[in-house]
Every structure is written in structure tokens, then in C-alpha cells.
């Protein structure tokens, strides 16, 4: 009897269904429904190794493979039709999001140019500055929402060569700016520039950069993909077999390997990605709407808002608006700190993408971009009841208003 959903007879499935079904074991009698975790550092082997043979846990392990195949399927590596399993190379899982970022930056030749948003994950910018200080590469910061300015930076000029890599975040961390990914990819490819997109905020359920022409996609698996704030992992996805091989070699030779148990947990988290993303996005859009009308709020950043600068662009290229907000309360830095200190349901923490709602004032880090406002509070909206989240935020906003009144009275 034919199984219409088996690997040999793929159905046209939605991304949410693929998150549940991709990377499953073969359907043979007695087989487990879920791939088991394999906790072995080495594998039985003799003679000349053959391609794909497991030898040693730094090179490969069976527990990586289901997650890597599932993520590649969601990102449509190989440009498979929407809803069909990928025929491209699998993703490459690494020890952390920064390990994934470092693996992609290692593709830039010595002395090469990298164009990157001035608002991006702060440790990405720290690593780029470190590489620039060592003379490994040069870095040009751009306002990623200004397409013309980004294109000009990528193309270079009379004495400046075209960029070797255009690094994109969209929406950006933490300012939520939205890039015209397809237009920037097309312009970059005209001059031979590779494009990598950090897709952590959007997830492959909301945005698929490979389908927009990008060469590489990076994820902090720690965030939405795993989704429970209990693992630290990263991943790189690409259509290009040569780039895939080079990223794998970097992982092996630099030892940036993921623990099998952590990857097994990430795959388990991936199964509920669609439910979590749907609920978190609904919550985020509703909270953005309420916050934008609150008298104790100076500014709200979220592409769901009709007057947000990135709204039209996000509506055109994304299947949603993400669930990270940027909020500036009254009272400046003191007001922002008061808000974070007053909430009880929201968790003051520096990560995002978990089931729980988290928030923090980003400029508390000395390494954050200096063009991020001192009073910006980044909010990662979780899956709790939206009215409970709002009631807790109102307490925080009252505290921010009290801080503002105290400052005015001085």
C-alpha cells in the first residue's frame, strides 16, 4: 500500500507540517517514531573509509542528520518547490550561533570586504571588529533599510573593490529594520558578492532567504528553532555544495561541533515551531498595537504596525512580522530600567525566541551599537496569554512613568 506522505511519495506540505514531519526515521515495522540520540564519540570502522561513513564524533554523528535535513527542508535548500522536501545539501549544525557566524565569515578571503548593517547582533559586530583589527578583512557599516546606500557600499568605487560578502539581518537586531532582501541579493550578485542572511528573528516559517536568492542562511538555533531556552546551537544552510563542504570542513577542523543531546533537543523543539511562532507573532502584534497607543511609550518598533518604516517591505517578503519588539518608554534610561525591574511575568534576560517572554535594555552592553537608543528595551514575546503579558507590562510602564516624573521634579 502506498504511503502518500512517505519520502518516496512526498505530499505538498505546508512549512508547519514539514516542521513536524521532516527528518523522521524510515517507516519500517518496529522503528522508532523519533530519531534516537546517539551518544558515542567514535564508530566502528576498518579499511578505507567510504563517503558518508561515521568515523569520529567531531566529523559526523547520526544525531545531527535528522535536524540538519529538517532545517534544510524548511529553508528550501536546493530551491525545492514550496511544501516539498529539499533535494539540496543538508544544513550544518554547529556549537552555537556565533560558531555558525564565524564559519561563514571564514569564507571571506584575507583582506576581503564585508558590508554589514550598523544595527546587527552585537557579537557579530564585535567579531567583525576583531577581524578588522587583525587585518583579516575590512568592514563597512550601512543602514540596511536604505537599499541604494547598501548597493553603493557593495559595489565599491574607483579605489574600493566590490564587497566579498554582504551580511544581512532582516529584521535587524535590535532595531527591527527590514531590508529589501531580493533587491540587495540581485545587486550583490551582479558584482560577484556573496550574500549571507541571519534569519534567526524571522525563522524559515516567516522568511526563506534562499528562495530570495541568498547564498547562505545562518541561525542561532538557540532561539526560535529549539525554542525552550535550554540549548546553545547554531546552523548554516546553503544551496551550494561547495560552500556546504567548506562550512563542514570549518566545523570539523575548528572543532565547532554540537553535542548530540543538544541537537536532539533542538529537533524536538523544532516540531512545535509553527505553533510557537504563530502564537508569539499574534501576541507581538497585539502588544505592539497597545504599546503604540500607551501614553508612557515614546516609540515602538515592529513591522506589523502600519506606520512602521518596514511594514510595506515586510508585508511583501515575509509571511508574518516576527515576535521581537523594540520599545522606548518615557523616562529615558531610568524609565527603561524601571520597566525591566518592575515586571514579574516577563523575564529579564538577554536571549530571545523561547516560549517565555523576555526583555532587556540593550545598551546595558558596552558592545551594543552606539546608534541604538540608550532607552530601547528589546522584547521577545512568548506564547503566554496576551492579556497577562499586557497587565505585567502596564505595571512596568507605570514604573517608567514614575521614573520620568521623578526626573522631571529634579
The number of C-alpha atoms within 13 Å of 403 and in the hemisphere containing its C-beta is 23
Nearest to 109 by CA among 185, 166, 165: 165
Residue 2: CB partners within 8 Å, gap ≥ 6? 9
Q: How far is CA 9 from the centre of its chain?
A: 31
Are 37 and 268 in contact by the 8 Å Cβ rule? The answer is no
Residue 71 C-alpha from the chain's centroid = 12
d(CA 365, CA 375): 12
The values of phi and psi at residue 265, to 5°, are -65, -40
d(CA 380, CA 358): 5
DSSP annotation of 34 reads S
Sheet holding 358-361, edge to edge: 297-301, 324-329, 377-380, 358-361, 347-348
Report the alpha-carbon distance of residue 72 to residue 382 in Å, rounded.
Answer: 25
- Strand runs labelled E in 274-384: 297-301, 324-329, 347-348, 358-361, 377-380
CA–CA dist 70, 89 (Å, integer): 11
Positions marked catalytic: 58, 121, 198, 223
H-helix or E-strand spanning residue 138: strand 137-142
CB 162, CB 313: distance < 8 Å: no
What sign for the dihedral angle of Cα 395, 397, 401, 407? positive
**DSSP secondary structure code for residue 26 in this structure:** P
**Alpha-carbon distances, residue 244 vs 15, 77, 148, 305 (angstroms):** 23, 11, 30, 38
SS3 47: coil
Helix (H, G, I), strand (E, B) or coil at 101: helix
CA 294 from centroid of its chain's CA atoms = 30
For the chain, the distance separating the N- and C-terminal CA atoms, rounded to the nearest angstrom, is 80
Amino acid at each position: 500500500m502506498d504511503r502518500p506522505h512517505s519520502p518516496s511519495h512526498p505530499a505538498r506540505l505546508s512549512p508547519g507540517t514539514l516542521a513536524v514531519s521532516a527528518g523522521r526515521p524510515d517507516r519500517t515495522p518496529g522503528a522508532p517514531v523519533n530519531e534516537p540520540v546517539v551518544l558515542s564519540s567514535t564508530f566502528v570502522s576498518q579499511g578505507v573509509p567510504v563517503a558518508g561513513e561515521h568515523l569520529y564524533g567531531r566529523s559526523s554523528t547520526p544525531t545531527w542528520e535528522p535536524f540538519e535535513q529538517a532545517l534544510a527542508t524548511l529553508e528550501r535548500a536546493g530551491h525545492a518547490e514550496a511544501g516539498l522536501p529539499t533535494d539540496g545539501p543538508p544544513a550544518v549544525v554547529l556549537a552555537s550561533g556565533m560558531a555558525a557566524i564565524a564559519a561563514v565569515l571564514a569564507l571571506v578571503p584575507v583582506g576581503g570586504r564585508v558590508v554589514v548593517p550598523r544595527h546587527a547582533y552585537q557579537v557579530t559586530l564585535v567579531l567583525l571588529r576583531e577581524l578588522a583589527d587583525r587585518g583579516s578583512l575590512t568592514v563597512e557599516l550601512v543602514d540596511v533599510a536604505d537599499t541604494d546606500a547598501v548597493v553603493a557600499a557593495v559595489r565599491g568605487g574607483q579605489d574600493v573593490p566590490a564587497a566579498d560578502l554582504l551580511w544581512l539581518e532582516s529584521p535587524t537586531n535590535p532595531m527591527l529594520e527590514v531590508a529589501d532582501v531580493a533587491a540587495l541579493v540581485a545587486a550583490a550578485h551582479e558584482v560577484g558578492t556573496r550574500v549571507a542572511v541571519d534569519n534567526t528573528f524571522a525563522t524559515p516559517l516567516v522568511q526563506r532567504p534562499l528562495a530570495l536568492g541568498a547564498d547562505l542562511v545562518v541561525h542561532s538555533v538557540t532561539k526560535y528553532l529549539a525554542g525552550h531556552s535550554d540549548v546553545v546551537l547554531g546552523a548554516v544552510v546553503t544551496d551550494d555544495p561547495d560552500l556546504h563542504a567548506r562550512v563542514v570542513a570549518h566545523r570539523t577542523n575548528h572543532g565547532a561541533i554540537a553535542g548530540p543531546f543538544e541537537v536532539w533537543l533542538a529537533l524536538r523543539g523544532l516540531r512545535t515551531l509553527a505553533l510557537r511562532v504563530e502564537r508569539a507573532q499574534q501576541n507581538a502584534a497585539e502588544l505592539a498595537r497597545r504599546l503604540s497607543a500607551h501614553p508612557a511609550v515614546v516609540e515602538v518598533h515592529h513591522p506589523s504596525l502600519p506606520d512602521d518604516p518596514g511594514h510595506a517591505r515586510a508585508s511583501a517578503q515575509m509571511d508574518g512580522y516576527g515576535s521581537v519588539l523594540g520599545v522606548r518608554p518615557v523616562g529615558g534610561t531610568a524609565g527603561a530600567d524601571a520597566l525591566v525591574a518592575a515586571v514579574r511575568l516577563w523575564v529579564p534576560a538577554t536571549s530571545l525566541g523561547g516560549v517565555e517572554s523576555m526583555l532587556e535594555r540593550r545598551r546595558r552592553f558596552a558592545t551594543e551599537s552606539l546608534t541604538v537608543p540608550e532607552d530601547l528595551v528589546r522584547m521577545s514575546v512568548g506564547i503566554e496569554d496576551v492579556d497577562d503579558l499586557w497587565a505585567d507590562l502596564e505595571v512596568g510602564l507605570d514604573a517608567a512613568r514614575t521614573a520620568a516624573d521623578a526626573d522631571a521634579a529634579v
